[in-house]
């Protein structure tokens, strides 16, 4: 009678096969569970992102209401002691919180001011140069910015650059030869790096002509400008001047005229449209936290005081 038991070699093959089948089934099951988990996380993220977006747009609408109410006030000036200038304390949401802030973008130097009506505005150009110097940066960067904005392909100056320079980069690109709409565009300009941009960014704005009141030029609001921006306005201004002006404007809730600047700055600066007491462009930042999810929005609001309307010129959304 033949032995019904399988040879040892065959029994070993069957055992290995069984182990492989179990391992494969385990891998498939684990993959299904993982994919299901990822799908759930994607759905949660999409819902949180949409919820964050709605909260951010709500914060923007709140900022618009604040700005319109501010324009209806008897004082036709904007200063840092007004309600809009106070940071919004953390606002509790159903599953998180929202924080927000409004900043007067005319408290900064508008880098587009250096070129208007097809030619260099020397006063605005000198202001940008002085700001670079105040910050300890290379003053020739102003030349690179000018060449990026001007309408031609001719290199304007020693540190200027046009397509010949930018197309040789990796990746290659061309000079804009138009006004800048975001300060981050400076990172594409010859001579700028991350450190330079971070040092300069808090003191500049990118506001093309037609924005902020509809004019060709955006003046600096002396009631909201920082000490470094004030120092860059004129070659005659000293740190003692800026300290005095900042202290005075806080005591009197903002200047009502430019008399404090008489004798301290050139008459050309006072006679031109370089200084103002109020503003029309404001930046709104909102950060929403929902669980482990964080959603941010930056919006540039342009207020038309005469028409009583506000337009969102730019919106940036981010997730981190």
Task: Indicate whether 294 belongs to any domain.
Answer: yes
Task: Indicate whether 14 belongs to any domain.
Answer: no
Task: Indicate whether 22 belongs to any domain.
Answer: no
More confident of the two residues 157 and 187: 187
With bands split at pLDDT 50, 70 and 90, how would you rate the model's confidence at 3? low
Task: Indicate whether 1 belongs to any domain.
Answer: no
| Domains: count for the chain | 1
Helical (H) or strand (E) element with 21: helix 8-71
Task: Indicate whether 194 belongs to any domain.
Answer: yes
Q: What is the CATH number of the domain that holds 93?
A: 1.10.40.60
Q: What is the pLDDT of residues 262-278, one digit of tens each?
A: 989 999 999 988 999 99
Mean pLDDT of 297-314: 89
Task: Indicate whether 4 belongs to any domain.
Answer: no
Task: Indicate whether 43 belongs to any domain.
Answer: yes
Instruction: Specify the range with the lowest mean pLDDT, choosing from 17-26, 198-207, 310-319.
Output: 17-26
Task: Indicate whether 53 belongs to any domain.
Answer: yes
7 pLDDT more than 80: no
Q: What is the pLDDT of residues 145-161, one digit of tens each?
A: 999 999 888 888 888 89
Please give the C-alpha separations between residue 243 and each of 110, 196, 253, 263, in angstroms, as whole numbers. Answer: 22, 26, 16, 16
* HEC letters along 190-252: CCCCHHHHHHHHHHEECCCCCCCCCCCCCCEECCCCCHHHHHHCCCCCCHHHHHHHHHHHHHC
Do 114 and 231 meet the contact criterion of CB atoms below 8 Å apart? no
Q: Is 4 helix (H, G, I), strand (E, B) or coil?
A: coil
50 pLDDT more than 90: no
Domain that holds residue 131: 38-320
pLDDT of residue 241: 96
| b/e 284-295 (16+ beta carbons within 10 angstroms → b) | bbbbbbbeebeb
Mean pLDDT of 108-129: 96
Name the pTM for this structure: 0.85
Do 107 and 249 meet the contact criterion of CB atoms below 8 Å apart? no
14 pLDDT more than 80: no
How far apart CA 212 and CA 303 sit, in angstroms, is 7
């Amino acid at each position: 009678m033949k032995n019904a038991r399988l040879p040892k070699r065959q029994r070993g093959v069957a055992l290995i096969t069984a182990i492989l089948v179990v391992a494969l089934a385990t891998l498939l099951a684990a993959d299904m569970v993982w994919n299901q988990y990822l799908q759930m996380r994607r759905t949660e993220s999409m819902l949180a992102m949409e919820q964050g977006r709605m909260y951010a747009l709500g914060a923007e609408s709140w900022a618009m209401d604040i700005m319109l109410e501010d324009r209806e006030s008897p004082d036709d000036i904007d200063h840092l002691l007004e309600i809009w200038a106070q940071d919004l304390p953390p606002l509790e949401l159903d599953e998180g919180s929202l924080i927000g802030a409004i900043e007067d973008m005319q408290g900064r130097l508008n880098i587009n001011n250096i070129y208007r009506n097809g030619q260099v505005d020397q006063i605005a150009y000198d202001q940008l140069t002085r700001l670079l110097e105040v910050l300890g940066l290379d003053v020739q960067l102003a030349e690179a910015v000018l060449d990026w904005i001007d309408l031609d392909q001719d290199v304007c100056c020693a540190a200027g650059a046009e397509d010949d320079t930018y197309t040789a980069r990796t990746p290659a690109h061309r000079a804009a030869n138009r006004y800048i709409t975001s300060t981050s565009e400076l990172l594409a300009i010859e001579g700028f790096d991350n450190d330079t941009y971070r040092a300069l960014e808090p003191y500049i704005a990118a506001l093309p002509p037609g924005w902020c009141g509809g004019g060709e030029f955006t003046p600096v609001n002396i009631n909201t400008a920082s000490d470094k921006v004030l120092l860059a306005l004129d070659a005659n201004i000293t740190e003692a001047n800026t300290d005095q002006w900042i202290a005075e404007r806080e005591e009197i809730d903002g200047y009502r005229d430019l008399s404090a600047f008489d004798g301290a700055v050139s008459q050309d600066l006072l006679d031109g449209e370089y200084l103002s007491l109020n503003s029309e462009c404001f930046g709104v930042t909102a950060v929403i936290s929902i669980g482990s999810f964080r959603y941010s929005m930056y919006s540039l609001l342009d207020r038309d005081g005469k028409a009583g309307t506000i337009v969102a010129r730019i919106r940036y959304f981010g997730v981190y």
